[in-house]
Structure 1
Amino acid sequence: MATCPMSSSNSNALASVMSDNPRYAEMFDVNTQTANAGVDMAKDYTDDMNRLRDESPVHKGSLRQLLGAPEMEFSPIKRESYTFFSYRACEIGFRENLIFSSEGYNESPGVALVGPTILSMVGKPHKRLRSAAQPLFKRPKVIDWWNKRWVEETVDVLLDRLLDEDAVDLNTELCARLPMTTVTRAIGLEGSDVLEFRYQLDRATFGAARLPAEEAAASRAWVDQTLRNLIAENTANPGDNLVAGLIDAEIIDEEDGIRRKLTEDEIFGYCKLAIFAGGGTTWRQLGITIDALMNHYHFWEACREDRSLIEAAVEESLRWRCTDPYMPRLCTRDTEVEGVMVPEGVRVIMCFGAANHDPAVYERPGEYDIFRGKVAANMGFGFGPHRCLGIEVARQEMIVAINGLLDRFPKMKLDPDKPKPEYRGIDHRGMTAVTVRLKG
């Protein structure tokens, strides 16, 4: 792979993102994720999800059971499951967070190893902890700080190194590297630590079950010590990064007005969650969006002429093919949803992959159309009080990346000499590749 010259200001910081380290292909491979999830490698499950929604807005059974896919152990705690498929049912599930509690995430060993995060909190504790970090992720802050500090520079480096190339797979050359590098640099890591931290964090948490206990423990110790070092460095000499922002943030009790700083564990949790959510979700969704534009080329051409349309292209991809099509919840009391009684104590799966295709809400839901105009908010990044905290960062990463592609490779097309990329998976869906001819 060709490389471009780097200025001294970014040579050390972005050396890792320029490398041909094989871990990029190993860690960011939709085919491997799909195989590890035990699902049909040759199947897009969208039609089956839509069929189930059309049969009933709420079904008894887990999503995998209903799709005829093997169960994966989410938790050692055995529970019956119900799955919500309609837009209305999922909207209720997201908004009524005390009834359909995200505390169910605490039953997942992988989530438990991440530590305390807003992902598995509800009510006032969730609101207090989320509000402490929210200012760091609001749209104006993302555009003025995240973009200028990390996103734009990373996109420039990644795409400039491709200027002399013809055929590439953007999955590994752009989609995987951009979000992982952005969020890892945002917490204060640079150089080789960018990739190493993501690798060790996966081994310490969600990948721990596949490793000998001592190896997983060693990775956890490595991650925690790295974060402790970052906190110590930014406490002594505050940097211009996310860790420094979290150290400076305060939790305010709305009842008694008492203020306090985030604990070390709370800062750890935010950093780990940012790496997983920011690095994984955006990687796959960016590939989905590029593939959608390549297969609907008139929209690529429209975006080329009017760059304000890129945001609509991203938003429509989140509706049309969201990478994470469901989220689990725990039902805390007997509740009727769309005419179906959902008992207390069951696990609820909100399949917003089907909700985003609900014909009661969207016209022609199966079509990718960036000219839909004003429509109901899609659930691609969640909904309600638990909507993804970093949604604006993810949006801007994708917008800046597509802008960069249009600037450098305006005639880019799918590579006709490569197998057609396929949309695969149940849990974490994505494109099997994003193989393109950069010059058209």
Structure 2
Amino acid sequence: MIGFPLGASTTLAELARDPHPRLALLRAHEPVSWLPELNGWLVTRRDLALDVMRDAAAFTVDDPRFTTAQVVGPSMLSLDGAEHTRHRDPFAAPFRPRAVREGFGSFIERETDRLITEIETPGTAELRRAFAGPLAVAVVTEALGLAGTTTDTVLSWYEAIVRSVSDLTAGAAAAPAGAAAYARLKDAVEATVADRRTSSLLVSAADRLAPAEVASNAAVLMFGGIETTEAMITNALLHLLSHPDQLALVRNDPGLLDGAIEESLRLEPGAAVVDRYATRDTRLGPATVRRGDLVTVSLAGANRDPAVFPDPDRFDVRRDNARLQLAFAHGPHHCLAAHLARLETRIALQRLLERLPGLRLDPERPASPYGLVFRKPDTLHLRWDVGSGPADGRNGPTTPS
């Protein structure tokens, strides 16, 4: 498409490896740009990103090309309008703020402490797979009430589904492991729903949705809940430990921990992009989008818009507007479990800072986020001091009542 030279020279490999310099360039000069490698538009300015995500009538997820639906079928993630509401509402109640605090706080604290106990003695661990991933899986499994599964099994399903969605988004064929993993998840969901003696979110949703619909929505909740939270914990640890001055602020003022989490979400959202499809010809900023065009919103680009976030590449736990970040998307498809992900991340960081004195990055194993769609370090190797006793008040915030 003529008129978008920066988009024409943008590669998906660059966006997966280190997207932020290129996103800044696009945002300044081509805030809605046509990327031939994407075969669609990329939106990088925050106000235009909001326009797309708010207007489900003009920019829909309900399209055969929507990659998650190709793997798990129609769900609240890939439907709009009345059908979206019908799929989403049966799952909404447990994820409201008060219900999250009352329903999951104690469970998250127990699981967090159990996982830390398993790793604390050696003084070193790879935290993504030994802690962040298992915690996210345990909480999602608890939230769904999924019977007859283990953390390792659910984590393997999730990883296979994520790989398939990522393959499709990058224009490749999806590996068969994703479909096989979803088939096993679907069997587990149907077994849970069939046992009416149990009380779970899946069983209650089955009163309003068909079994296949319960399974597809369970898959996207699992998919989103694990991915979002694992990335939130891992990226937030990386940001804090990479900035000793900011970590010192959080240690001295526990009230800044929430700001640190929001700022990490702003700088490196776990889901870097969301896709929409134009339902009609429309003007979007400087571009004319045609009906049927793919419109990809760069949450990573919008979150570093200098018109909203001064000095946008700086990690600042005291940034007063960090909650304007769009890591959980916006509009009808705002992340259903955002409050739960925040609670998990807050408790996880609190406990890690309290219980692992001298927590620091392993200098011999550097880490950086990577990924076109889902961004986090592949591994996060950390070290801490062993045998020095529990951390004192300077080493981490206390758990809120």
| TM-score grouping bracket, smaller chain normalisation | 0.7 to 0.9
Change (3 A) 1:205 1:173: closer
**What is the aligned length?**
369
Output the CA distance in 2 between the equivalents of 1:218 and 1:103. Answer: 24
Is the CA contact (8 Å cut-off) linking 2:163 and 2:178 kept in structure 1? Answer: no
| CA deviation after TM superposition for structure 1 residue 190, in Å | 6.4
| Structure 1 unaligned blocks of 5 or more | 1-36, 66-70, 72-79, 249-260
In the alignment, structure 1 residue 59 sits paired with structure 2 residue 21: no
2:223 corresponds to which residue? 276
Output the CA distance in 2 between the equivalents of 1:42 and 1:137. Answer: 31
1:4 corresponds to which residue? none
| CA deviation after TM superposition for structure 1 residue 388, in Å | 0.7
Secondary structure in 2 aligned to 1:285? helix
Secondary structure in 2 aligned to 1:333? coil
In the alignment, structure 1 residue 97 sits paired with structure 2 residue 56: yes
Is the CA contact (8 Å cut-off) linking 1:361 and 1:376 kept in structure 2? Answer: no
Is the CA contact (8 Å cut-off) linking 2:266 and 2:322 kept in structure 1? Answer: no
Among 257, 262, 286, which residue is 1:310 paired with? 257
* Deviations, residues 51-85 of structure 1 (Å, cap 9, x unaligned): 111112111225xx3xxxxx6xxxxxxxx511111
Secondary structure in 2 aligned to 1:117? coil
1:27 corresponds to which residue? none
Output the CA distance in 2 between the equivalents of 1:355 and 1:221. Answer: 36
| CA deviation after TM superposition for structure 1 residue 204, in Å | 6.8
In the alignment, structure 1 residue 83 sits paired with structure 2 residue 42: yes
1:163 corresponds to which residue? 120
Map 1:26-37 to 2 at 5 A: none
Output the CA distance in 1 between the equivalents of 2:34 and 2:161. Answer: 34
| CA deviation after TM superposition for structure 1 residue 288, in Å | 0.8
1:147 corresponds to which residue? 105
* Deviations, residues 254-285 of structure 1 (Å, cap 9, x unaligned): xxxxxxx2222222122111111111222122
2:375 corresponds to which residue? 429
Change (3 A) 1:321 1:201: closer
| Structure 2 unaligned blocks of 5 or more | 1-10, 166-172, 387-401
Among 338, 348, 351, which residue is 1:391 paired with? 338
Is the CA contact (8 Å cut-off) linking 1:293 and 1:300 kept in structure 2? Answer: yes
Map 1:320-359 to 2 at 5 A: 320-359=267-306
* Deviations, residues 332-351 of structure 1 (Å, cap 9, x unaligned): 11111113211111111111
Map 1:211-290 to 2 at 5 A: 211=175, 219-233=181-195, 235=196, 237-239=197-199, 241-247=200-206, 261-290=208-237
Secondary structure in 2 aligned to 1:107? coil
Among 368, 384, 396, which residue is 1:438 paired with? 384
Change (3 A) 1:365 1:285: same
1:175 corresponds to which residue? 132
| CA deviation after TM superposition for structure 1 residue 221, in Å | 4.1
Change (3 A) 1:130 1:191: closer
* Deviations, residues 213-239 of structure 1 (Å, cap 9, x unaligned): xx7765554332211110012x2x132
Question: Percent identity at matched positions?
Answer: 25
2:24 corresponds to which residue? 50
Is the CA contact (8 Å cut-off) linking 1:204 and 1:216 kept in structure 2? Answer: yes
1:117 corresponds to which residue? 75
Output the CA distance in 1 between the equivalents of 2:359 and 2:178. Answer: 42
In the alignment, structure 1 residue 193 sits paired with structure 2 residue 140: no
Q: TM-score if structure 2 supplies the norm length?
A: 0.84
| CA deviation after TM superposition for structure 1 residue 163, in Å | 2.5
| CA deviation after TM superposition for structure 1 residue 121, in Å | 1.2
2:96 corresponds to which residue? 138
RMSD of Structure 2 on Structure 1 (CA): 2.6
The one-letter amino acid paired with 1:126 is H
Is the CA contact (8 Å cut-off) linking 1:328 and 1:349 kept in structure 2? Answer: yes
Output the CA distance in 2 between the equivalents of 1:88 and 1:53. Answer: 11
Output the CA distance in 1 between the equivalents of 2:234 and 2:274. Answer: 21
Greater relative contact order (CA < 8 Å, ≥ 6 in sequence): 1
| CA deviation after TM superposition for structure 1 residue 205, in Å | 8.2
The one-letter amino acid paired with 1:166 is G
